[in-house]
Structure 1
């Protein structure tokens, strides 16, 4: 851009010298050169600082790697490349038979566990009835033993052998009651092994069944949102694996058009959100897109370091970083039908020395016209 300004001044000087027939001597030529140095130098300094220019600008967008949640053979690829998709549209399908069999197996186990839970209730009721019967038998044996013991002491009606037999029957009934109570406690513990009223074994199998059903549903991979897939290489018969480092597809969601440009750090004070910005695109020669600065990224990768086993070298610190500004366009970008990621050049106009911004606007448009011939790098 600076070269364009110098060439413009040189052309203007040539026209003035020719039209006004100014002689080329030791006074006129140095005056034109010195005047150009002073005028252009001042204008360039004011313009470059207050209205920064980004030589490298590019549309930035987010892509989503489509990684299947389950492993299996791909049986069909339903998504058409570069065609619009809605949220929930099928991208591809994985063979569901192994997961369907797992669901059926767990369904049978869950039903069996539910029946076993009902048996636990019946066993508890049976244990309660046995405990009552054992208690009644114990009470009856105790009464009989007391009657025999009293009769033997007072009237001598019963012999010691008969009293001993009754005592043994009473002790046996007492032991039977203790066994029945132990069975009742065991049945009670089994019956009380619940979470929110559901048997723990049944609940465990239900959760396993839900997980299996979830895996079965994930055999149909759908679009996470509106967008499209591109460069689709997936085909039926490929083994799809849930590995983040090897996605099956790349999905590009619908999103607003944002452009990022790199700028020298000396103009950071003149790059603030809300400032006017203009953009030229190599793919649209002669057209200037207007927008505004959305943000200036708060961190630069050149100063980044992470936890690790190596030290930061001086060479890394000597790397000159560039600030990144993000702008949002005002015009309807979609009518140009351009692929995402196109490149161009960007200029930001601050609120300082606004009259000098006219020169930046003219130079930016001249660069846009040059795109008809070849893009300036």
Structure 2
């Protein structure tokens, strides 16, 4: 587009020189060149500031690393890659044998404890009856009460252990957290599932709308506001520009984030200039509903500020021309 504008200006100069019969000398040519440089530079400077474009835009989907809450060997894997799932559908099964044994053991301890409670309750009633007739001492009654309280305390502890054991047993079957699908399934029976945060056995993609984020340079980003109109071109859909609008301008980017640690932040470690993330939504998403737009697709996003709006025409032409260039350079 830059070349097209320059050639158009050169053609205009040739016409003016021919029609007006201006003398062609170093002064007239220099004057025309300086005026051309000023006009072209002015157009592109204001267009870059008030009608900015980002060539670092991409579609994103939220994914969840699926890991288990208990460790064990995987017995079965029920899912296949990219098949739609409902929330609660089984993903894979961990060997439940040791967890079932733990439940059975605690249930046996509970039965034994309950039998002891029944025994000491009967004994307490018997000694209290004997004590009322003077055939038993208060010390013996207190001893039976103490044993009864110990067994009741043991029962309460076993009940808590049983709840945890049943919970662990239920978690041997790993299920889908929401509607969505699992992609790139590499999990196989015989592998061990470990409880490691953010290092899952599967990658779960949630069934929700993809999000489009564009990274703008800091200087022109200050003219981008929520609600401004925009246009988007995708690398997988050549020659088409889709109307959109800005829905969010992030107030922070990676270079401005500080987290608690034992080390101080050195400015030299963040030498690369950060870009401001802008979230964009299509005005009519149904237009791309059946288009090949997987998450990770690259895009170009242009935002149109109301200032110097006349330059948005130039930006729109450049945006479409760059979209068609993919036929030539990436075919």
TM-score normalised by length of structure 1 = 0.78
Give the Cα–Cα distance (whole angstroms) in 2 for the partners of residues 14 and 37 of structure 1: 11
Contact 1:124 1:187 in 2 (8 A): yes
| CA positional deviation for 1:253 | 0.8
Q: Which residue of 1 aligns with 2:132?
A: 132
- Quote the RMSD (CA, aligned, Å): 2.5
Specify the SS of the correspondent of 1:372. helix
182-191 vs 291-300, greater mean Cα deviation: 182-191
1:186 aligns with 2:135: no
277-286 vs 298-307, greater mean Cα deviation: 298-307
1:255 aligns with 2:212: no
Give the Cα–Cα distance (whole angstroms) in 2 for the partners of residues 122 and 303 of structure 1: 71
* 1:235-264 superposed Cα distances (whole Å, 9 cap, x missing partner): 111111112254211111112221111111
Q: Which residue of 2 aligns with 1:49?
A: 49
| CA positional deviation for 1:334 | 3.4
Q: Which residue of 2 aligns with 1:231?
A: 184
Give the Cα–Cα distance (whole angstroms) in 1 for the partners of residues 292 and 113 of structure 2: 60
Q: Which residue of 2 aligns with 1:71?
A: 71
| CA positional deviation for 1:64 | 0.6
**Count of residue pairs brought into register by the alignment:** 325
Give the Cα–Cα distance (whole angstroms) in 2 for the partners of residues 42 and 322 of structure 1: 24
Q: Which residue of 2 aligns with 1:280?
A: 233
For structure 1, the residue ranges without an aligned partner over 5 or more in a row are 138-176
Give the Cα–Cα distance (whole angstroms) in 1 for the partners of residues 91 and 226 of structure 2: 39
1:352 aligns with 2:307: yes
Give the Cα–Cα distance (whole angstroms) in 1 for the partners of residues 10 and 319 of structure 2: 23
* Rg comparison, structure with higher value: 1
For structure 2, the residue ranges without an aligned partner over 5 or more in a row are none
Map 1:146-295 → 2, pairs under 5 A:
180-191=137-148, 199-244=152-197, 246-295=199-248
Name which of 333, 336, 340 aligns with 2:291: 336
* 1:121-167 superposed Cα distances (whole Å, 9 cap, x missing partner): 21221221121122xx6xxxxxxxxxxxxxxxxxxxxxxxxxxxxxx
Contact 1:303 1:317 in 2 (8 A): no
Specify the SS of the correspondent of 2:85. coil
Give the Cα–Cα distance (whole angstroms) in 2 for the partners of residues 56 and 254 of structure 1: 25
Give the Cα–Cα distance (whole angstroms) in 2 for the partners of residues 262 and 129 of structure 1: 85
| CA positional deviation for 1:15 | 4.2
1:321 aligns with 2:287: no
TM-score normalised by length of structure 2 = 0.88
Contact 1:86 1:223 in 2 (8 A): yes
Q: Looking at secondary structure, tell me which structure has more helix per residue.
A: 1
